[in-house]
Amino acid sequence: MKELTFIDNAHANFYSEHSKENDVYKNSLVYLIGLTEDTRNHFSEILTQDGINLDVFNNGWITGETRRLLILGFNLWNGYLYGSENNEKNTSLNAVDEIFSGELAYYFLQAVNIRFDIEKKQQRLNELEKPL
């Protein structure tokens, strides 16, 4: 995978400290959590030993941007789609155009690439398309 882009040194240090080799599910979530000071400060509350903590969406420190970040991160972790227990009401808030509408969209794409290793898959396709 191409070298990752980090928003700042705190983000890079956080990712280095909490990512695990060969765990694309956790690493994509850790990359996203590391983007903001708020999510870094609440890391142990967001990702517990039991997995992702859905109750975190009810906390006062959650902003629109951190909500989008966590929705995407939880989706990359295990396919989770919603930001609260009222799933139907929040479906439109979790659409791709909503999630990627904030200032962190570029970094969100980095997390998607961590999870799916798109560049590696593209290289494989290119190799298959070469004439024999």
Q: For the ranges 16-20, 39-43, 59-63, 128-132, which has the lowest average pLDDT?
A: 128-132
pLDDT at residue number 99: 86
Q: How far apart are CA 122 and CA 128, in angstroms?
A: 10
pLDDT at residue number 84: 53
Q: What is the pLDDT of residues 64-75, one digit of tens each?
A: 999 999 999 999
pLDDT at residue number 126: 65
Q: What is the pLDDT of residues 78-122, one digit of tens each?
A: 887 665 555 555 666 677 888 888 899 999 999 999 999 877 666
Environment class of 26 (CB within 10 Å of its CB; exposed 0-12, middle 13-18, buried 19+): middle
| Secondary structure class of 113 (helix, strand, coil) | helix
